[in-house]
Amino acid sequence: MSLPLAPGLAGTRILLGISAGIAAYKSAHLARLLKKSGFEVRVVMTEGAQAFITPLTLQALTGEPVRTSLLDPEAEAGMGHIELAKWADVILIAPATADLMARLAHGHADDLLTTLCLATEARCLMAPAMNQAMWRHPATLANADRLVELGWILLGPDAGDQACGDVGLGRMLEPETILAQLLDELEPARDEALRVMPVHRDLVGRRVVITAGPTREALDPVRYLSNHSSGKMGYALAAACAERGASVTLVSGPVTLSTPPGVERIEVISAAEMLTAVESRMPCDLFIGCAAVADYRAAAISEHKLKKTEDASGLTLELVRNPDIVATIAARPDRPFTVGFAAETQALETHAGSKLERKRLDLVVANDVSREGVGFGGDDNAATLLWRERERTRRHTLPRQPKTALANAIVDHIADRMR
């Protein structure tokens, strides 16, 4: 993969910093992508990084000598580290370990890479990479928040399988994704139609669980009860929360969407499976029940395919109630800030207001799925937000807009309410 650069970006000088994480093996591919895309690239490696990948590999890929030591007599004869700091238009650290993040957050300059970062006026970005428990540690999240305050742009981390065998949020983004996000940061006009608003980092340190998509309730081995939900709204909310710095778990019914960068995804089928997955991620700070959960399931699932009867009397199914996921979470002793969705076809605010009261929710997002062009399956949506304040039900209307934009507007309101 290589992406064309906008006029004025060709020849941009990127200093690629590599710290001591197993994800350093991906840095070689990243260096190659940066070169193919038209950037000038020089590499600085920490001492620990050399245990994972050799400087010779990076030198071969970039065509430039790799710097590894602050106290290099030949380079420092001309104040080499200061010259490097001045040379760079952009500093990109990938991977950035928890240790490196901590040192940069507190202004340390005890090796070449951290010294460069303190001495530069370049734009600074990093792609964190570490064990999922290390990323979730309050100290790491506080350091991430501090780095953002200092002007750093964090790319990721991503969620998935980790080298240690764990699964969760903390792995480095793939090189192709890092390149795409780097270009997005350097080219403000790139894909302007998709860039709906500036990203606020107001959810750093928050743990968020979101449900999305439909559930399927089996009738027999080949048939099920379900609905038309595409999952697009829930996935857009997950992406918006992750971009704002939250640690996001997306519990998803069967959909065909890609997992947003930096989001942990748990795939489920039925409502019961969805509730189990959500409860496995409690406690959290924010729960958004965006999934279109089937209200009923078959009382008994047929072992074999249900056959048509010879007469015309039809088929009678016995259904039982599914668990109410959003109400269950709202009723927990350690309840998070709980947001429900109400997809209605009539009396929108009446039904949504009833859900707000009955289920003791903090906020309901109501949308009229009978309107043409919005709701299930479409790329646009509109919503009315309802919440209780000073013994009264308040409302705020969000007009029709792309679901990505609507998700950011909803998360704006949620973050304000949580504060």
How, if at all, do strands 319-321 and 217-218 pair?
unpaired
Asked if residue 323 belongs to a known ligand binding site, the reply is yes
Q: How many CA atoms lie within 13 A of 313 on its CB side?
A: 5
C-alpha closest to that of 355 among 391, 314, 327:
327
326 labeled binding residue = yes
CB distance 49 to 39 below 8 Å: no
Active site residue 117: no
337 closest CA partner among 256, 406, 399, 282: 282
The one-letter code for the residue type at 110 is D
341 annotated as belonging to a binding site for a ligand: yes
Residue whose C-alpha is closest to residue 154's, from 204, 226, 217: 204
Q: Check the annotation: does 26 bind a ligand.
A: no
Question: How far apart are alpha carbons 69 and 355 in whole angstroms?
Answer: 62
Helix (H, G, I), strand (E, B) or coil at 44: strand
Counting Cα atoms < 13 Å in the Cβ hemisphere of 128 gives 31
284 is in an annotated binding site: no
C-alpha to C-alpha distance for 248 and 350, rounded to whole angstroms: 31
Please give the structure tokens belonging to residue 170: 């903390």
CB atoms within 10 A of CB 151: 8
Query: Does 324 belong to an annotated binding site?
Result: yes
DSSP letter, residue 7: T
- Residue 279 structure tokens: 């409860």
Q: Amino acid identity of 299?
A: A
139 is in an annotated binding site: no
**Beta strand 319-321 pairing with 123-128:** unpaired
**Contacts of 71-80 spanning 24+ positions with Cβ under 8 A:** none
Q: Which of 124, 164, 241, 284 is catalytic?
A: 164
| One-letter amino acid for residue 138 of the chain | P
The verdict on whether residue 72 carries a ligand-binding annotation is: no
* Residues in binding site: 289-291, 295, 305, 323-326, 341, 355, 359
Point out the residues that are catalytic: 164
Tell me the binding residues for CTP.
Answer: 289-291, 295, 305, 323-326, 341, 355, 359
